[in-house]
Amino acid sequence: MSYERSNIRDMAGYVWGEQPEDASQCKLNTNENPYPPSPQVAAALRAFDAAHLRTYPQPTADRLRTQLAKLHGLDRDSLLVTNGGDEALRLAITTFAAPGTPLGCAHPSYSLYPVLAQIQDAPLLQAGYADDWTLPKGFADQANTAGARLTCLVNPHAPSGRLMDVDQCARLAAELDGVLLLDEAYADFIDPALGYDSASLLRDFDNLLILRSFSKGYSLAGLRLGYLLGQPTLIAPLLTKTRDSYNVDAISQALGLAALSDPTYAEDTWARVRQERERLRDGLAQLGLPAPPSQANFLLASVPAAAKPPAPELYAALKAQGILVRHFNAPKLCGKLRITVGAPQQNRRLLRALRGLLCNAG
């Protein structure tokens, strides 16, 4: 006998990227920062007194909230710390998307969105991105007509890396009847010259949530630490009602503070990733695998329809050589490979392998 709810029984779970135990693998499939965390994080971990684990952590991570609020020029009441960005998404969907009402998003996008929607028993608004990875015309009208009370959009977009600028974000927040959640997991890698600052919109919009993560920019994917920004009226129910008790452990709070204490280190890794992003994009283009400009730490390379081997086989051939990238067997993506921007030696290894595979096939 099956005891789970029918919608859980009938759904497919989230499929995560491979996490190999072999350190010799060239891992370019899950968009991790190729550089280690700040030395300040390592020092804080060594100095952490295990005796503190006897008691519960500070329930709302107030010291960390305070520092993050300063970083974004907000009050602490405008911020909630979460157990990774994924908990932030789950909390937002639980709080704002009632069962039976649609969750707004555009596809293809982060593949956890439909999973969380199915768990909540909320239908998914199916709006496809245009060929240039811009939102379809009339997207807000579609969401409003469907009755979506929450709309989630990754910005920069995953898996293309395209950035929706602040003015576009503002227009969308103004047009939507429900809450707009901008999932900015990759925002640390945006070119500073673009002046992107979505937090400035929070003064004017009480229906805007912004998700940020320590996983990518601060090289702490193994820690699980994220946060949400929004007006206090939007943050309050998440903080006081739907959030799990003691949702962020004491070690995570301490290491998050340590990461924030060394902004120069983090910003240097972001700059290095941006430099490698352009070198890798140029290298892929020379091999006939063009990728659109990206403001994230990954590229979406197109494998031409006539290419030999085609995208799925190219993915498998790279894997056989110990190089992991991501292939999605989905509309608009089946002929593409999503490639994390690695450290220089990783990117060189990838390009050498691709050159050999494509030349030998030709």
Beta pairing partners, 18: none
Do both 45 and 161 map to the same domain? Answer: yes
pTM for the model? 0.96
Whether residue 11 lies inside any domain: the answer is no
Given this model, what pLDDT does residue 362 score?
56
Q: Do the domain assignments include residue 118? A: yes
Amino acid type, 58: Q
What is the rounded end-to-end Cα distance, in angstroms, of the chain?
54
Q: Indicate the helix (H) or strand (E) that contains 27.
A: strand 26-27
Block residue for tokens 């684990």? 53
- Both 122 and 174 in one domain: the answer is yes
Q: In total, how many domains does the chain have?
A: 2
Residue 83 lies in a domain: yes
Residue 7, in any domain of the structure = no
Q: Which CATH number fits the domain that encloses residue 299?
A: 3.90.1150.10
Q: Are residues 222 and 340 in the same domain?
A: no
The pLDDT, as a whole number, for residue 126 is 81
Q: Strand order of the sheet with strand 226-230?
A: 79-82, 226-230, 208-213, 179-183, 150-154, 103-104
- Assigned domain for 147 exists: yes
Residues 183 and 276 grouped into a single domain: no
**Separation of alpha carbons 360 and 362, rounded Å:** 5
Return the closest-CA partner of residue 317 out of 347, 288, 354.
Answer: 354
Do residues 73 and 124 make contact, with C-beta atoms less than 8 angstroms apart? Answer: no
pLDDT in tens, 238-292: 999 999 999 999 999 999 999 999 999 999 999 999 999 999 999 999 999 999 9
Residue keyed to tokens 């805007």: 208
86/221 same-domain check: yes
Q: Where are the beta strands (DSSP E) in 54-117?
A: 79-82, 103-104, 106-107
Same domain, 53 and 70: yes
- In the block, which residue shows the tokens 């009402």? 101
User: What pLDDT tens digit does each residue of the chain (362 aa) get?
Assistant: 788 998 899 888 888 888 888 888 999 999 999 999 999 999 999 999 999 999 999 999 999 999 999 999 999 999 999 999 999 999 999 999 999 999 999 999 999 999 999 999 999 998 999 999 999 999 999 999 999 999 999 999 999 999 999 999 999 999 999 999 999 999 999 999 999 999 999 999 999 999 999 999 999 999 999 999 999 999 999 999 999 999 999 999 999 999 999 999 999 999 999 999 999 999 999 999 999 999 999 999 999 988 889 999 999 999 999 999 999 998 899 999 999 999 999 999 999 999 999 987 65
Q: Report d(CA 266, CA 36) in Å as an integer.
A: 10
Q: Is residue 2 part of a domain?
A: no
Compute the mean pLDDT over every residue in the chain, rounded to the nearest whole number. 96
- Euclidean distance between CA atoms 30 and 153, whole angstroms: 19
Domain that holds residue 289: 20-36+264-361
Concatenated DSSP letters of 274-301: HHHHHHHHHHHHHTT------SSSEEEE
Q: Taking a C-beta distance cutoff of 8 angstroms, is the pair 91, 237 a contact? A: no
